[in-house]
């Protein structure tokens, strides 16, 4: 069976620490795939906010929507872990971009890779319910992470 391969960028301009909560744990006693998606969402929101934007600008009624997601699991996460989630934007087109994520944790003095992920994001105008062009200044800030 073919596996998803996510080519992560060489550097990440943004990272955040997110603690693993008890509700993130599934019946296998490790972080569930649904929790990983929530953790990606939190990291994405924080990354976008760090650049001065919102995932949804309620006043203008425009923002980002996730068109697709891919996650390659590499290791288990457990309650009490603190995930380091690094985020970088890339693969831009006129209407969107991909966000890349690296999730790691430190355990027993070692860095453990939990997952690599990618979300396809498109810029969406809720006023007309259509994909819209990504503004040039936003693209520049996303590319540089500043």
95 belongs to a structural domain: yes
Give per-residue pLDDT as tens, 13-28: 999 999 999 999 999 9
Q: Say what the pLDDT of residue 121 is.
A: 97
75 belongs to a structural domain: yes
Report pTM: 0.95
Give per-residue pLDDT as tens, 73-118: 999 999 999 999 999 999 999 999 999 999 999 999 999 999 999 9
Close Cβ partners of 82 (under 8 Å, ≥ 6 residues apart): 17, 18, 19, 20, 105, 106
Give per-residue pLDDT as tens, 116-139: 999 999 999 999 999 999 999 999
Tell me if residue 93 falls in helix, strand or coil: strand
123 belongs to a structural domain: yes
- Total domain count for the chain? 1
142 belongs to a structural domain: no
Q: Supply the mean pLDDT for the chain.
A: 96
28 belongs to a structural domain: yes
The domain that contains 51 carries what CATH number? Answer: 3.10.129.10
Question: Which residues span the domain enclosing 122?
Answer: 14-137
Residue 146: pLDDT above 90?
no
90 belongs to a structural domain: yes
Nearest to 102 by CA among 73, 65, 132: 73
9 belongs to a structural domain: no
3 belongs to a structural domain: no
């Amino acid at each position: 069976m073919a596996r998803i391969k996510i080519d992560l960028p060489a550097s990440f301009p943004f990272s955040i620490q997110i603690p693993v909560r008890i509700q993130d744990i599934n019946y296998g006693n490790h972080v569930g795939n649904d929790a990983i998606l929530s953790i990606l969402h939190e990291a994405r929101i924080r990354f976008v906010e760090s650049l001065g934007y919102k995932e949804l600008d309620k006043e203008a009624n425009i923002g980002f929507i996730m068109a697709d997601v891919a996650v390659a699991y590499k290791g288990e996460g457990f309650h009490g872990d603190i995930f380091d989630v690094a985020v970088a934007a890339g693969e831009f087109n006129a209407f969107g971009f991909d966000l890349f994520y690296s999730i790691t944790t430190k355990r027993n003095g070692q860095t453990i890779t939990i997952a690599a992920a990618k979300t396809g994001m498109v810029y969406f105008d809720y006023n007309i319910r259509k994909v819209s062009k990504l503004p040039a200044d936003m693209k520049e800030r996303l590319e540089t992470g500043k």
